[in-house]
Amino acid sequence: MGAIESPIMLTGTQHVGRVADALQAWAFARDPEMGVTTWGLDTVVGECSDMYLSDVRGRHVRDEHVFAALDNATGGPVEEGAVGGGTGMVCFGFKGGIGTSSRVVPSDAGGFTVGVLVMSNFGRREHLTIAGVPVGRELQHWSLPVLSEKDEYDSEKTGSSIIIVLATDAPLDARQLHRLSVRAGGGLARMGGLQSTSSGDFVIAFSTTNRTPHHPTAPTFEQHVATETLMAHQQWPANVVINWLFEAATEATEEAILNSLCMGQTTTGRDDRVIHALPLEEMMAIMKKYGR
């Protein structure tokens, strides 16, 4: 029906059910009519596999963690790196996790914001690319995830998945949001992501402007729609609003992934497994070497 009616939560693969269940309980607690006189809740929970670092069989995510995340959610700057669902994530063999970025398009193209939050958990070391520079190939001396003889999975070595949450105040309908989602995939490709086979890469995109009334009072309601064609008497780049939004979606996704890496911290997980943070100074030296 074109609406998201739940907070969006991100977690590890094996915790999706538990997080969805706690989210339902939290929603029940806030609305005593839910499930009695009004329906709900279609929960939205995204996941990537954190089993390299995390003791996933321990089922350490419990209701109280979900409630705390929901009750303490605020606006403003977002904590990045190994926080929340991002705690156990691995990206290009370095520490991944939560990253965010945003772009504002020019005022004569509407002045809209596109914001992206990622939970990064993908990528082979040699594919890591930062602003076009083959950083990963220069950082092959940093240890990769070590798998045992018995390990049957390859997600940390081959790259696994990413969840991309894209929000905008541009008034976009479902078709247009899908178009932005495809372009978010472009930002993933520019970082060196292959969307390898072991898991799904999702974009959850929504507009904060066009809201669906829960109980409309007339057969139709008004919405604004962003233009996809040339605005009269103007010249690009100012004149096609959605092209600016496409560029914003690509760039913000690329940068959000980069930020998830830059904010990572070396982490020791289960069985003394260590994933290093992206070495920032070394990275900057490589950037310089390649003329940046």
Q: So which residues are the catalytic ones?
A: 161, 199, 201
> What residues contact 246, with CB distance under 8 A and at least 6 apart?
179, 180, 183
Least distance (Å) between residue 154 CB and a copy of itself: 5
24 or 260: whose CB is closer to a copy of itself? Answer: 24
Least distance (Å) between residue 86 CB and a copy of itself: 18
How long is the chain?
292
Q: 3-state DSSP call for residue 63?
A: helix
Least distance (Å) between residue 263 CB and a copy of itself: 23
Least distance (Å) between residue 4 CB and a copy of itself: 14
Calpha distance 239→110 (Å, rounded): 10
81 or 123: whose CB is closer to a copy of itself? Answer: 123
**Tokens in use for 199?**
């898991």
* C-alpha torsion angle, residues 251, 237, 181, 6 (rounded to 10): 90
72 or 235: whose CB is closer to a copy of itself? Answer: 235
Q: Please, are residues 260 and 96 in contact by the beta-carbon 8 Å criterion?
A: yes
Least distance (Å) between residue 185 CB and a copy of itself: 6
79 or 271: whose CB is closer to a copy of itself? Answer: 271
102 or 158: whose CB is closer to a copy of itself? Answer: 158
Calpha distance 146→51 (Å, rounded): 13
Output the DSSP codes for 247-291. Answer: HHHHHHHHHHHHHHHHT---EE-GGG-EEPPP-HHHHHHHHHHTT
For residue 187, which of 250, 102, 103, 118 has the smallest C-alpha distance? 250
Q: Please, are residues 160 and 121 in contact by the beta-carbon 8 Å criterion?
A: yes
Q: 3-state DSSP call for residue 197?
A: coil
